[in-house]
Structure 1
Amino acid sequence: MPRKQPTEEDLERRKIVSVNAETVTDVTSTDFPGNWPGENHAWDIEKVIRDTKIEFHQNEPAEASFSLIGVDASIANAFRRIMIADIPTIAIEKVFIDNNTSVIQDEVLAHRLGLIPFTGGREGLDNFMRWLPKPKDNEPIESTYFDYNTISLELKVTCTDNPDAAPGEKDPRKLYNHGHVYAKDIVFAPVGRQVKYFAGEDAIRPVNPDILIAKLRPGQQIELSMIMHKGVGSDHAKFSPVATASYRLLPTITILQPILGRDAEKFAKCFPEGVIGLAKVTKEEAARQGSGYEGHAGELKAVVVNPMLDTVSRECLRHGEFKDKVRLGRKRDHFIFNVESTGQWESDAIFLASIAHLKEKARKLEQQVVDMVR
């Protein structure tokens, strides 16, 4: 059977998931992504490089938004899962409580401490800190603790009356010393070569120093030590470097027939602000036969400004005056990612690390296939 090449129109049409008034159609493409019967879709690395694009919309240390274009959903979802579960961070794993007379039980206190995100010098975290090995049989876990795989922290707080408090003061933060225990009260205790990598601004510290840990009253005390090490989100959520890592498909809004005047204003209100704009019909458009704008020069018309802001509520499809005038959809190969970092990694670095991790997974799989064939 001869192989044919699809037209550009075919390729663009296949990329759209149709969003109708009551249904969503064209949600699947083929049994094998990127392959269509009777067509030549042989692997072409040049085509992959040409079609795959990354466009950043927001790039801040705590949050990044970017578009990943030209890949299958399986690839986009692989990046999302790797960012959540496979990028390593450090977190508190062991809590040794010497004294806790607060109202919070030991187990709850330890759990709260484990969920506090920490950060420190990137060179130390990436290149110096290694994985904590599992102890051998009948070997205490402490025998595996070294300066390159564990970090020690301490928390020693005692609540006392504040002798300088004003008479009649009701605010416990002014009435007592250490009435509130915060993450900033945790002290980093460097060991060995950690002084070199985690000193000054690179010291191990909470991402947010004002995280509330407990509330104390005079006479109550918390005294404990903690051990933290590297881990991944697939072991426990406290090791995940992201607060959220999600994606959505790019909405598409196609105006099939002119929407003018009051209808245009109503049409714009069917979408979030900034999605649909209003523009005046030009004389050239009004003079062009078959444009639908004949005789409407100077009137307002609806135009698509920024479909990325759309939430695909389908509100416009509920109004009869817009029937057959608009088509909604989503682009199946355009993924809009939103990544929020917990603070140990910068948000864009998490995505770059996920790319490197996926490449390493592919390299190992390739080697396993080669070994299997042999």
Structure 2
Amino acid sequence: MGKDKGKGKLPEHLELRRDFVTCGDRLNFNVNTITSANTFNAMGVDNSWDFAAFKDSFQIVINKMDREVMEFDMIGCDPAIANALRRILIAEVPTVAIEHVFMINNTSIIQDEVLSHRLGLVPLLVPPHLLEPKLAEEAPGEKNTVVFKLDVTCRRKPDGSLENDKVLTSQLEWLPGGSELPEETTCRFAAGQAHLFTASAADAAAASTSAAFAAAAAPPSPLGSTSGPYPRPRAVHGDILLAKLRPGQTLQLEAHATKGTGKEHAKWSPVATAWYRLQPVVALLKEVRADSEEGKVLLETCPGLFSADEATGLLRAGNARGHEMVLERLRRLLEQERFSSCVAYRKRKDHFIFTIESSGVLHPAELLAQALDILADKANNLRDKL
């Protein structure tokens, strides 16, 4: 991958082996990345990594972005870098999630442990940079803990309908002054948190909408640069069902949220998923007439991917990226030698189509910015220790 820095040039078959994965009918070939500097020394080609060449070839192209999903192309880097970014997004970008649940009264059918686990997995809209990580030996306080309470009782109304028969995340109430059970929870706030979250519920909704459009139009801001006021702490989605109650049943509890990362527990992971795939490329290995038997089958089986040149009558391969739904059909055709001898299905080793699906706690652009900062810190730390 990258430009050859030596005087020689690699034969075409070695260029393809170095730069592309070849997709067969059952197996993929040439999947390894050739990183050794002296691999092609006998041919006069220097395969060592060059920072200047990397800067010239590396690109990030954003394809789409909204409040929940971001897709971008990352071009000109090693698979190890792409995978490191993916793992950081999943496991090392911090968020805030419910860690401790103090059950006061639970007469519902759902067990305390199950309810506590469900609460822990609820994404919370709390800016993580406002809190410090809570160490095991530290007492909970306003610097490291956000406190919620849930107090719901199901009742039958005079008209026979039920009130609070469904317990939703919107019923979690933030306690700016801290725990109402300081003796049992050892959580005591000295100053409270009301000054950190001053936006009203209406302002919070408006700020959330405007921030999403602003983030889509502007580059992501570094961690901690976003200015307040911040929306009141709440669940990202208020319609998540926590439990169902019958008349007379009660749920009364206090939940303490702390800062953490996904490598400690999945509830702190800021993404629903973060994944990438390689850029697909379809190439014709020889001339194929559109009116031949092979040409007709390819045109019929993979519509849009192949087209006929009106001037020459030959088959042309289009952009595989725009026709990914038919690529598996092409792979099935490659089981036959008559097709595998004239069509190649490949994937570029240094071109990654990256997708970030946020859980809603942070905008995907902010997640990418934080992940890149963490990756840079890791690189600097390694450099300092060499």
TM-score (norm 1): 0.81
Separation in 2 of the partners of 1:54 and 1:160? 55
CA contact (8 A) 1:188 1:204 kept: yes
Partner of 2:64: 58
- Determine helix, strand or coil for the equivalent of 1:181: strand
Of residues 198-207 and 255-264 in structure 1, the stretch that sits farther from structure 2 once superposed is: 255-264
Q: 1:154 to 1:164 in 2, by over 3 A?
A: same
Partner of 1:44: 50
Separation in 2 of the partners of 1:309 and 1:155? 49
CA contact (8 A) 2:145 2:257 kept: yes
1:103-252 aligned at under 5 Å gives the runs: 103-120=109-126, 122=127, 125-126=128-129, 128-135=130-137, 141=138, 144-165=139-160, 175-191=161-177, 192=191, 194-198=193-197, 199-200=199-200, 201=204, 202-252=231-281
Q: 1:19 to 1:6 in 2, by over 3 A?
A: farther
1:328-347 aligned at under 5 Å gives the runs: 328-347=345-364
Separation in 2 of the partners of 1:14 and 1:307? 21
- Determine helix, strand or coil for the equivalent of 1:194: coil
Partner of 2:301: 270
What's the offset of the Cα at 1:54?
A: 1.1
Partner of 2:381: 364
The answer to whether structure 1 residue 17 and structure 2 residue 11 are counterparts is no
CA contact (8 A) 1:117 1:207 kept: yes
What's the offset of the Cα at 1:37?
A: 3.5
Aligned residues: 329
Separation in 2 of the partners of 1:320 and 1:368? 53
What's the offset of the Cα at 1:6?
A: 4.8
**Deviations, residues 308-347 of structure 1 (Å, cap 9, x unaligned):** 5426420231456534221111111111111110001111
Of residues 105-114 and 247-256 in structure 1, the stretch that sits farther from structure 2 once superposed is: 247-256
- Determine helix, strand or coil for the equivalent of 1:219: coil
The equivalent position to 1:310 in structure 2, one of 311, 324, 335, is 324
**Deviations, residues 210-248 of structure 1 (Å, cap 9, x unaligned):** 100000000000000110010000000000001111111
Separation in 2 of the partners of 1:115 and 1:252? 39
CA contact (8 A) 1:85 1:233 kept: yes
Of residues 304-313 and 253-262 in structure 1, the stretch that sits farther from structure 2 once superposed is: 304-313
CA contact (8 A) 1:264 1:302 kept: no
- Structure 1: give runs of 5+ residues left out of the alignment: 136-140, 166-174, 287-292, 370-374
The answer to whether structure 1 residue 95 and structure 2 residue 101 are counterparts is yes
Separation in 2 of the partners of 1:116 and 1:303? 47
- Determine helix, strand or coil for the equivalent of 2:334: helix
Q: 1:177 to 1:33 in 2, by over 3 A?
A: farther
CA contact (8 A) 1:112 1:213 kept: yes
Q: 1:268 to 1:244 in 2, by over 3 A?
A: farther
Separation in 2 of the partners of 1:37 and 1:321? 33
What's the offset of the Cα at 1:360?
A: 0.5
What's the offset of the Cα at 1:302?
A: 4.3
Partner of 1:172: none
Which consecutive segments of 4 or more residues in structure 1 shift more than 6 A? none
Amino acid at match of 2:88: I
Partner of 2:290: 260
Separation in 2 of the partners of 1:58 and 1:33? 35
Amino acid at match of 1:14: R
CA contact (8 A) 2:280 2:347 kept: yes
Separation in 1 of the partners of 2:79 and 2:349? 8
CA contact (8 A) 1:252 1:328 kept: yes
CA contact (8 A) 2:103 2:253 kept: yes
